[in-house]
Structure 1
Amino acid sequence: MPPSCRADRINLHEAGIAEATPSYSELFSQGSISISPDLINKAAEATEGHPFLIQLVG
């Protein structure tokens, strides 16, 4: 089957690590989960800005 017959690709732009870090901080805080800022930064850096990884790591 040619690639044109497959599902449409959705191109998600890369999110910056600087965007993921405060998002993680806010979400963990809302869940009453205490995580050090260093660990939050490491988690954000591990995603390399890829949207699916941001969701997975979070």
Structure 2
Amino acid sequence: MYEYKTEVLYTKTKWTTDKAEESDILELNDLFNERSQEGWELVTYSYMSTSLQFKGATLITFKREK
């Protein structure tokens, strides 16, 4: 049996191209590494753009055994 954890990671710029702020990538890596240390495994992620022209977010789901 697993338990799941979903988080939203907001980005500083909207990723409409292959360009992303390096700080956003570092923050994403930090989140993955922190959750990995806690025993969480990445299950899925989905980029969610907003109606604003300069922001977006990534919905990230992790799992681990209970």
TM-score relative to the length of structure 1: 0.36
Which structure exhibits the higher relative contact order, with contacts defined as CA atoms closer than 8 Å and separated by 6 or more residues? Answer: 2
More strand by share: 2
Larger relative helix fraction: 1
**Structure of higher CA gyration radius:** 1
